[in-house]
Structure 1
Amino acid sequence: MDLPPSRPPKPNSNHKPNWLERLTAFLLREPEDREELVELLHSAFERHLLDADALEMIEGVLQVGDLQVRDVMVPRAQMDAIDLAAEPKDFIPYVIDTAHSRFPVYEGSKDNIVGILLAKDLLRYYASQQFDLRRMLRPAVFIPESKRLNVLLKEFRANRNHMAIVVDEYGGVAGLVTIEDVVEQIVGDIEDEYDEDDSEDNVRPDRQGRWRVKAMTPVGDLNAVLGSAYAPDGIDTVGGLVVTEFGRVPKRGDAISIDGFHFRVLRADSRRVYSLLVEREAPVPADEA
């Protein structure tokens, strides 16, 4: 008995292509270079084939290959590190206050990082009277400032590391970088109403005679604008200057006076300062001096 020829299945009329399928169809014509690819992505966004979040993430992935570790690392002056010689009762409050999960541990100076302390390992201190900090340390990973972020992310995933110590060309510690720092370049920061805009100006005056200053501004640039004479030993940035004066990483809203100027933190997280508001302090009247 002959069977009727089989018919191809009818397409599902209810199927709606997702954004990835629509984008794939849109990109069938191959772009000639990266600029054309980005242009196609923005055209796809304008045609509602991509939403804003998807576009931002794709652009972040493309940009990661262009960035180096030095572009996103936490500078040495803003590193939260622990002295190997310190007693647990002395540094545990510091661990609690900064709320990190990992801390570089140094011996003698920050140029001699001997390992990484996981905050969860401090539970052993409360469970036993014997606690050897050196034995608790995990090996530290050292990387150059010039390493590409896409390569670093691949290494983080392969080695299951979450933090690396960044060294300069002379072997000194330049800062640290975490897997979160790299991922943020893809998914973006979580911003709020206190965040500053992305202006290229490092020091911007406002109408009240104050200055909004990015923490990564070189101290010399600040001196040139304010007419100040800050010359901190071994510190290059305004953020490093403020962190050193506080003796810790300040929180948003914290303020401090330094040689005639008032610095207030506008934006910061648990690891670094991002922006500050600086104003000249009013002179003290002669009868109050």
Structure 2
Amino acid sequence: MGDTEPGSSTAAQSAPIDPISRPQSDTRRIVRKSSGWFDRMKAAFTAKTSDTTALAGANSSVVPPQPVQRPGMVNLRRMRVDDVAIPKAEIVAVPLDIKKEDLVEVFRESGMTRLPVYKGTLDTPVGLVHLKDFALTHGFNGKGERFNLRKMLRPLLYAPPSMPIGVLLQKMQTERMHMALVIDEYGGVDGLVTLEDLVEQVIGEIEDEHDVDDDAFWTQSAPGVFIAQAKAPLDEFEAAIGMRLTDEEEEEEIDTLGGLVFLLSGRVPARGEVIPHPSGAEFEIVDADPRRIKRIRVRLPSAVKPKVEA
């Protein structure tokens, strides 16, 4: 067999089709389309990578925001007792040898219905006293018996700080107890948690009949004495009581009554703490948690008469 000449028809039919053999105009068109598509893809990915790298570099020193803890059933297994318990320093408790008049005052000032009772120190709890037991025995149409706190004591529940709140909630339901003390590894009291604290992690904050209505930022409980929400607008409260509580510099920084109390104390004050004001007014913390102030009892100086009855 002889070699086929390049110019023969057989060579033309058997040779593979090569883009180079196409007309020059077609070749330029193919190359332009191919280069343009790849160029656009390369440019897009390069731009995204550059932007991401620049953004990461710019935000390398920024602390990412912490997720907001929202109420829900998932909190029952995700949250622990020490996440919701109030610290030991904020526990309102009474000694076993307290007098009846003093116990009445603690119930009145704290607004609590259950108080832990201890012997010597809070690290030696002996039980809790319920306001209903005390009232039925020594008030209203009670038996009028001689005051004996030991006879009115109810048992307390104890929980480690690492216990999931769902486990403690079930235990409270089973044993019909509404209060538990958080005990550390040495047996000392580390905090306190109530049934309401646990339920609020599932359904949100619970307001009872003694809480200030959301529509009313404050109410007047006595002449010159107000029970106010910490979020009450400071300028409106000043107008109601007829006195200034801030100067011009502080007025620009503070919007709420709770903000004023925080500024005066320099921290989040504990429940039951009294913060004095230079004018002679007093701010008593009625309700608070470790993160914020909730309700405040404001006592005005005797010389000040409110302009508006809240």
TM-score (norm 2): 0.49
1:256 is aligned to 2:276: yes
Match of 1:178 in 2: 194
1:86 is aligned to 2:98: yes
Any residues of structure 2 matched to 1:156-235 within 5 Å, and which?
A: 156-189=172-205, 192=214, 208-209=252-253
CA distance in 1, matches of 2:253, 2:196: 37
User: Which of residues 269, 275, 285 in structure 1 aligns to 2:292?
Assistant: 275
Could you say what secondary structure the match of 1:158 adopts? Answer: helix
CA distance in 2, matches of 1:60, 1:115: 31
* Residue 257 (structure 1) shift: 6.0
1:150 is aligned to 2:166: yes
CA 1:272–1:156: 2 relative to 1, 3 Å? same
CA distance in 2, matches of 1:257, 1:170: 40
**Aligned sequence identity (%):** 33
User: Which of residues 91, 97, 121 in structure 1 aligns to 2:133?
Assistant: 121
CA 1:273–1:264: 2 relative to 1, 3 Å? farther
Contact kept? 1:249, 1:271, Cα under 8 Å? no
Contact kept? 1:75, 1:174, Cα under 8 Å? yes
CA distance in 2, matches of 1:74, 1:182: 12
TM-score (norm 1): 0.52
Could you say what secondary structure the match of 1:60 adopts? Answer: coil
Whichever of the two has the greater Rg, that structure is 2
CA 1:108–1:131: 2 relative to 1, 3 Å? same
Could you say what secondary structure the match of 2:156 adopts? Answer: coil
Give ranges in structure 1 of 5+ residues lacking alignment.
1-55, 197-205, 216-221, 231-237, 277-289
CA 1:211–1:66: 2 relative to 1, 3 Å? farther
* Residue 80 (structure 1) shift: 1.0
Aligned length: 180
| Counterpart residue identity of residue 205, structure 2 | D
CA 1:155–1:189: 2 relative to 1, 3 Å? same
CA distance in 2, matches of 1:63, 1:146: 14
